[in-house]
Structure 1
Amino acid sequence: MKIGLLKTLKVTTISLLLSSFAATASAETTLRVGSWLPPNHPQNAEVWPTWSRWVEEATEGRVKVEVEYGLGHPKTMFELVEDGVIDASFSYHGYVPGRFKLTQAVEQPLLGVSAEAASVAHWRVFEKYFAKAQEHDGLEVIGLFTHGPGQIHMAEPIKSLAELEGKKIRLGGGVQGEIGHRLGVTSVGAPAPKVYEMMQQGVIDGVFIPMGEQKSLRLKEVARNVIALPGGMYLGSFAMFMNPDFLADLDEKDRQAILSVSGEKLSAMAGQAWDKADAAGLQAAKDAGVNIVEVSTGDPLAQEFVALTKGMDEAFLKSVADRKVDAEAALAELRQIARSYDK
């Protein structure tokens, strides 16, 4: 009798443990993130893994994050998330001209701050002023960030901005498109991962892009001449976003947990990662013997660029007049937050 009872207790205990394990396993949710940059890029090597850890810790392991690659052009990420093909992603606002106008506030030239500072300001101003314009309708925005200062990367050296006129330059949209227009370059559109191949084949003469890509996209091999303006030419605006239905289907506790590790916290972390990537890219370029002209504030090249940007604020404000938000106040506040940012 005792032996039979013991066997029964053991079987019952094992059954309960297996049931508990099965219930735990079935309760786990996989959050699928789509990415269009290579796995070694800081966005994939640092930003998503860090946020993934935050999400898993905040949800006590109930939500796991997986990153999927090679899902197409970055501009399609917005639609893929809206349609529920993937649960979350990120993209560059400039790839979808017309839809995103207000986000160009953070891209305007001469802000002169780090990507981290700009990203925090970007998020705060979005929440206060821009969210109500619903440019991201159909998406849950979980973070906003910028890359570091966009610089001039060329196959051949130049001594003045005037020499860029007529050159074939890859432009990614947004404010850099307006800068390219003012410089008189021949604009060539393509996603960032295609730049190496285009430079290598001579399809383009150069690209406006941050220093980090000298390493992550291996531009140090094909863009052997860099003009680094003080504060760069512009910043690039990105969003990280989720499918609202995916969030709505989660338990309220897990939904709030995910949002608690997103927003400003995620924006600041992403900006910081891109800042570090710029530092690594600069060092990699120097190690590879790339000709880097680091322009000082008083240099004629810098003054040439400042003159070039006159009137861009006014043009931006005019372009967003239909958004029915106080863009002028938002632009002023964004600059104040970014320039006084102290982490």
Structure 2
Amino acid sequence: MIRRNFLKVAGAVTLGMSLSTAAMSDTVLRVGSWLPPTHAQNAVVWPTWAKWVEEATEGRVTVEMEYDIGHPKTMFELVEDGAVDASFSYHGYVPGRFKLTQGIEQPLLGSNAEAASVAHWRVHNKYFAKANEHDGLELLALFTHGPGQIHTTSPVTSLKDLESKKIRLGGGVQGVLGDRMGVTAVGAPATKVYEMMQQGVIDGVFIPMSEQKSQRLKEVAKHVVMLPGGMYLGSFAMFINPDFMAGLSEKDREAIISVSGEKLSAMAGAAWDVADIEGVEAAKEDGVTVTEVAADGAMAIEFRELVKGMDEEWLESVADRDVDAKAALEEMRNIAQSYAK
């Protein structure tokens, strides 16, 4: 298990180390990001991996960050085209291309992001890789954010309160949940949520607790409902341009691979878990009404009824991928639920 103190120290130190030594390296690996520098992905995950890469390649490869380079859905293409060497994005922003990745997003997984991320990586390699949904990219990691919760401008005491409300949905399983709840779906990247809520364009958003702090939602979403285990987990990939990797020496390629994969997936998930904890703390300190629903609470029971049949719908949606999705989903849940024990 990756611990909170390690992640906080890593985030504070490694970015500066990587950037200060970039000029002395043989190769600079340019990472593009669409989230602000203060977000856990940019403040902790990429800098920690940058340090790992620098150490594994003995300084021959260093990492530089480039921020605010576009909509998150364009990151896949930017890396494929070589505009940047590596990036990350949310699979739900590209509907149709990524279907198998929604397996990890299904409700009632019952784990945190670190455990889910490890399950995501292992099951992808065992079952899903052959479907080639990430064609044109080389995967560095697969991870999830923490449990998605309900953030609104007005109180919610029942899921029925969300009917016809304008809710920003980021794609993937969120879309299925929103449809079942009868919300008015509004599409937009996470970076636009604050502005949309501030201007009254939306009434709420389904998103993890980390965004109460990192995206300052605590200022505009003053009501949060936290369901046990959340409603879903969001699936992300970290990826790199295959031509960039091919241009490295075999030694450096292997070095980068050695600090990626499951190790990077676990670290990324853990960083987002820590950010969730900090998000809850920041929300409460700022006067946000945070309702933590018990497992036997009325809304938790209501949610379990709402999501019945979603597994079967997902299995049907990926029938054309020619993989044993049912076995994969079962194994994914077993890995995630046993990981922390």
Whether TM exceeds 0.5 here: the answer is yes
Aligned equivalents of 1:260, 1:238: Cα separation in 2: 20
Instruction: Supply the AA of the counterpart residue of 1:198.
Output: M
Runs of 4+ in 1 over 6 A off after TM superposition: 24-27
The residue that corresponds to 2:11 in the other structure is none
Q: Which runs of structure 2 are paired with 1:155-170 in the superposition (5 Å)?
A: 155-170=153-168
Choose the corresponding residue for 1:153, options 148, 151, 154: 151
Distance change (3 Å), C-alpha of 1:303 and 1:255: same
The residue that corresponds to 1:229 in the other structure is 227
Choose the corresponding residue for 2:115, options 110, 114, 117: 117
The residue that corresponds to 1:246 in the other structure is 244
> Deviation at 1:26?
8.2
The residue that corresponds to 2:338 in the other structure is 340
Contact 2:147 2:232 (C-alpha < 8 Å) held by counterparts: yes
Paired residue secondary structure (1:30) = strand
The residue that corresponds to 1:14 in the other structure is none
Aligned equivalents of 1:216, 1:318: Cα separation in 2: 36
Q: Which runs of structure 2 are paired with 1:260-299 in the superposition (5 Å)?
A: 260-299=258-297
Q: Give yes or no for the alignment of 1:217 onto 2:184.
A: no
Matched residues, percent identical?
A: 74
> Deviation at 1:25?
7.3
Choose the corresponding residue for 1:315, options 313, 316, 325: 313
Paired residue secondary structure (2:291) = strand
Paired residue secondary structure (2:88) = strand
The residue that corresponds to 1:325 in the other structure is 323
C-alpha RMSD of the superposition: 1.1
Aligned equivalents of 1:176, 1:25: Cα separation in 2: 43
Paired residue secondary structure (2:339) = coil
The residue that corresponds to 1:64 in the other structure is 62
Using the size of structure 1 for normalisation, the TM-score is: 0.92
Aligned equivalents of 1:87, 1:212: Cα separation in 2: 27
Q: Deviations over 1:8-51 (max 9, x none)?
A: xxxxxxxxxxxxxxxx9786100000000000000000000000
Q: Give yes or no for the alignment of 1:186 onto 2:184.
A: yes
The residue that corresponds to 1:78 in the other structure is 76
Aligned equivalents of 1:317, 1:210: Cα separation in 2: 25
Aligned equivalents of 2:227, 2:205: Cα separation in 1: 14
Aligned equivalents of 1:132, 1:33: Cα separation in 2: 26
Aligned equivalents of 1:25, 1:228: Cα separation in 2: 46
Distance change (3 Å), C-alpha of 1:85 and 1:287: same
Aligned equivalents of 2:23, 2:211: Cα separation in 1: 40
> Deviation at 1:342?
3.1
Q: Deviations over 1:187-244 (max 9, x none)?
A: 0000001000000000000000000000000000000000100000000000000000
Paired residue secondary structure (1:199) = helix
Paired residue secondary structure (1:107) = coil
The residue that corresponds to 1:49 in the other structure is 47
Choose the corresponding residue for 2:174, options 176, 193, 199: 176
Paired residue secondary structure (2:335) = helix
Gap regions ≥5 residues in structure 1? 1-23
Aligned equivalents of 1:297, 1:176: Cα separation in 2: 21
Aligned equivalents of 1:252, 1:278: Cα separation in 2: 38
The residue that corresponds to 2:135 in the other structure is 137
Instruction: Supply the AA of the counterpart residue of 1:64.
Output: T
Aligned equivalents of 2:160, 2:230: Cα separation in 1: 17
Using the size of structure 2 for normalisation, the TM-score is: 0.93
Instruction: Supply the AA of the counterpart residue of 2:320.
Output: D
Aligned equivalents of 1:329, 1:156: Cα separation in 2: 41
Structure label with greater radius of gyration:
1
Total equivalences in the alignment: 320
Aligned equivalents of 2:210, 2:320: Cα separation in 1: 35
Instruction: Supply the AA of the counterpart residue of 1:310.
Output: K
Q: Which moved more, 1:40-49 or 1:26-35?
A: 26-35
Aligned equivalents of 2:307, 2:23: Cα separation in 1: 56
Aligned equivalents of 2:35, 2:258: Cα separation in 1: 26
Q: Deviations over 1:270-310 (max 9, x none)?
A: 00000000000000001111001100011111000000000
Instruction: Supply the AA of the counterpart residue of 2:233.
Output: L
Q: Deviations over 1:95-126 (max 9, x none)?
A: 00000000000000001101000000000000
Paired residue secondary structure (1:209) = strand
The residue that corresponds to 1:6 in the other structure is none
Instruction: Supply the AA of the counterpart residue of 2:296.
Output: G
The residue that corresponds to 2:89 in the other structure is 91
